Amino acid sequence: MEQILKEIRIQYVDPQINQVIKNNSAKTGHPFKICYSQNEELFFQLPCKMIVPSLPIHHEVTKNKPEAAYIKALFPFMNNIIAMMPEVFEELVYFFDPEENLKPCFFKLYKIEDQQYLYLLRLDLLFRPQYANIVEYGDNDNTHTFESDKLFLEANFIPLEKVNVVNNKVSSFIIKQMISETWVGERGRGYFLQGIWIDDELSKFFSKLFLPTGKRTYPYYPFLCKYKTLCQNVIHFSTKGRREILPYLHRALKFLTPILPRIEKELKNQSFSEDLDIFKTLKQNVPQYWDKVWQNLTLTPYLNEQDMKEFLVSA
């Protein structure tokens, strides 16, 4: 059974990369597009190709600090990316995650009333053959050096229960988990045994509840069931954009918190449908202003150079 992350630790922040973020904070970057792949992965379509360096594949999770060679390889890449899109990284802090060293992480803490929220941005530097060209082959210990004009990532607002501070520095974030269990069982046998989770069903329920009736936003869902809580799926990456959309999560939490156990119970027994009685009842009670929140949001499908389906996000 999958272990759900409860605590996000900040064990190493790199002064060089964080200084680059500060140095570029007032600068104007290059235009880029926000898209989804046919595999429902979010990415930036860049105006030019970037070189992603070869990075160590393995890292001992007990070592909080990355190897010097890792930072030496990562720094020039981050220097270029931050200069290309400074608004995406403005006010954020880079930190190293020893459990996923191919996903550079950035965070910022927000607060509305008494509730604290973590904005967590993770870049994904995994090599994807359909989207990249190999510049130099890697090996069993190091990734390929590759060229691509697509930067994959994920960005979420996460409600917090507590922020731990040691020596006046943030050491970890404790996630406010409001959903008891999203694992509901297994299916198949032997090598074909698969776990069954209802995270996707809950994400559809939460998102469809607040989207205007009939609004199609696939593969983007504004609210996600993640880390056993309600998170906001971010597609507004500037400082101003983040501040403007966070209150939507705060309002959604107030609306949903009292009834989350009922929703969870319903979806453990059946898949999500807009015809569910509980959904129809709640939909009637959703305040009218939600119809205007995503009225300008559109996802336009198109075929890329390899005739693979992608989606352009406009908001």
Query: Could you tell me the residue ranges of all domains in the chain?
Result: 7-314
Residue with tokens 């609004």: 215
C-alpha span between 183 and 203 (Å, rounded): 14
Percent of the chain with pLDDT over 90: 80
Query: What's the mean pLDDT in 23-52?
Result: 94
Selection from 73, 97, 72, 92 nearest residue 82 by Cα: 92
Selection from 243, 237, 222 nearest residue 299 by Cα: 222
Summarised one tens digit per residue, pLDDT across range 234-283 is 999 999 999 999 999 999 999 999 999 999 889 988 889 999 999 999 99
Q: For residue 185, what pLDDT is reported?
A: 43
Residue 95: partners with Cβ closer than 8 Å, 6 or more residues away: 10, 11, 12, 13, 14, 105, 106, 107
Summarised one tens digit per residue, pLDDT across range 285-315 is 999 899 899 989 999 999 998 899 999 999 8
Q: For residue 259, what pLDDT is reported?
A: 93
C-alpha span between 71 and 19 (Å, rounded): 14
